[in-house]
Amino acid sequence: MSSMEAGAFGKTAVTNVRVFDGRGLRPPGTVLIEGDRIGEGPAGTGPSGAEVIDGAGGVLLPGLIDSHVHVRDQDMLRRLCGFGVTTVLDMANGSPALVDSLRTVPGLTALLSAGTPAIAPGSLHASFPVIGERGLVKDPGQAEQFVSDRAAEGSDYIKIIVGSPGADHDQATVDALVGAAHKHGKQAVAHASSCAAVAKAQQAGVDVLTHVPLDQALDQAAAAQMAAAGRILIPTLTMMETLVALLGRPGDDYTAARDSVGAAYRAGVPILAGTDANADSPAAVSYGDSLHHELELLVGAGLSPADALRAATDLPARYFGLDDRGVIEPGRRADLVLIDGDPLQDIRATRSIRRVWCGGAGHAPLTQG
């Protein structure tokens, strides 16, 4: 397991290292880590007594962000750290007390959360024990109370399950939930894994779509509608692949998911990397290593390697208001991943982790599996 090492919050200079700047790799230079922040200036002008790490042959990436997970305990955060994932967006969880206990543990992966999602009574998601009755919204009249309860609990955004098998919110209820979210200054995130669910969520004006259709690929019109509205997409290709392999439901086809990402990307929709890592559903997805797989699947769906890296760094930081991370520059959180090789040549290089810093705390890498 990864271990927080002694002196984890000291001063460190990573020398001779190429830095991914969102487009390409800068020529080899030095990056300073001072406490929990990225420091100012070259090594010679930096703090004396810094630990020096020779980054020759390596690349420094901003700490990776997984934009769709479900985290239950600190061991999961520790594991995420060991794979270079330093921030996660939790997309449905249990009690507010549990979420609060995971939110900002010093030196461990930081977490934002939707808390309890809005689910239709009688739907598949209503049977998930971790969500329970707290998430049930049966009609438009219950939308405002649901959203104000989440806002009071500290939910960072509002998650709405659209198109769950068994039963589904009608259009008016989704509209009311999105309207209430916006009234409370929260982004509305829709779970939508069929074309009909995507259409319903778009009609309601959601800000974020997560998952992608497995029944058929999004067409150009749907992708153009997303782009025009400034909507963002967290496709969770890892989960879509897992669902097809594990459940084999008739009509489900991974190529529909992959081609949906291609259509959205070509239309200019911002794509964020998310895995749906979870330990509770019939389709479990592992924590941390899965994000590296997601990057590979995004490249397989047509993203350039640079855009796949941005999907896990500056784009989620920008779209979820995390102004203190996502890029490597002085003053930002010292969330960093030192890897071997060139991920712009081969995205699989992100798996070759030498060292991770999470809020300045050093972590040894975990091996795959």
Query: Largest alpha-carbon pair distance within the chain?
Result: 64
Smallest separation (angstroms) from Zn ion to the CB of 70: 6
Any idea which residue has 């998601």 for tokens? 125
Q: Where does this chain touch Zn ion (CB under 5 A) — which range of 76-84, 271-279, 323-331, 355-363?
A: 271-279
Question: Could you tell me which stretch among 43-51, 79-87, 138-146, 276-284 binds Zn ion (CB under 5 A)?
Answer: 276-284
Size of the site for Zn ion (CB under 5 A): 2
Q: How far is CA 193 from CA 94, 157, 277, 308, in A?
A: 22, 19, 16, 21
Give the integer Cα–Cα distance in Å for 229 and 207. 8
Beta-strand relationship, 188-191 and 232-234: unpaired
* Identity of the residue, 91 or 232, whose beta carbon is nearer to Zn ion in the bound complex: 91
For Zn ion, the nearest residue by Cβ is 276
The binder of Zn ion chosen from 36, 66, 259, 276 (CB under 5 A):
276
For residue 274, the minimal CB distance to Zn ion (Å) is 8
Per DSSP, the chain holds a count of helices (H) and strands (E) of 11, 15
The strands making up 85-90's β-sheet, listed across from edge to edge, are: 64-69, 85-90, 110-113
Q: CB-wise, 172 or 245, nearer to Zn ion?
A: 245
Stretch that binds Zn ion, among 169-177, 251-259, 262-270, 274-282 (CB under 5 A): 274-282
The residues facing 210 across adjacent strands are: 191, 234
Q: Output the smallest distance, CB 130 to Zn ion, in A.
A: 11
Comparing C-alpha atoms, which of 9, 128, 1 is closest to residue 74? 1
Q: What's the burial of 281, exposed, middle or buried (CB within 10 Å: 0-12/13-18/19+)?
A: middle
Q: Looking at beta carbons only, is 2 or 93 nearer to Zn ion?
A: 93
Report, in Å, the least distance between residue 229 CB and Zn ion: 22
Q: Which residues, 6 or more positions from 318, have their beta carbon under 8 angstroms from its beta carbon?
A: 326
Q: Show contacts with Zn ion in window 238-267 (CB under 5 A).
A: none
152-160, 243-251, 272-280, 314-322 -> range binding Zn ion (CB under 5 A) = 272-280
- Which residue, 275 or 350, has its beta carbon nearer to Zn ion? 275
Q: Which of residues 67-106 bind Zn ion (CB under 5 A)?
A: 91
Name which of 79 and 211 has its Cβ closer to Zn ion. 211
* Residue placing its CB nearer to Zn ion in the complex, 16 or 95: 95
Closest approach of Zn ion to the CB of residue 160, in Å: 12
- Least separation in angstroms between residue 92's CB and Zn ion is 6
Whole-number minimum distance, CB 270 to Zn ion, in Å?
Answer: 19
Cα distances (angstroms) measured from residue 156 to each of 151, 182, 184? 8, 12, 11
* Side-chain half-sphere exposure of 86, counting CA atoms within 13 A: 32
Q: Which is nearer to Zn ion, 12 or 164 (CB)?
A: 164
Q: Which is nearer to Zn ion, 91 or 162 (CB)?
A: 91
Give CA–CA dist 18/22, Å, rounded: 12
CA-wise closest residue to 131 among 144, 149, 119, 145:
119
Nearer to Zn ion (CB atom), residue 12 or residue 210: 210
Distance of CA 148 to the CA centre of its chain: 24
| Shortest reach from residue 281's CB to Zn ion, in Å | 8
Determine if 271 is a binding residue for Zn ion (CB under 5 A). Answer: no
H-helix or E-strand spanning residue 197: helix 195-204
Least CB distance from residue 297 to Zn ion, whole Å?
16
Contact 360, 108 (CB under 8 A): no
List contacts with Zn ion (CB under 5 A).
Answer: 91, 276
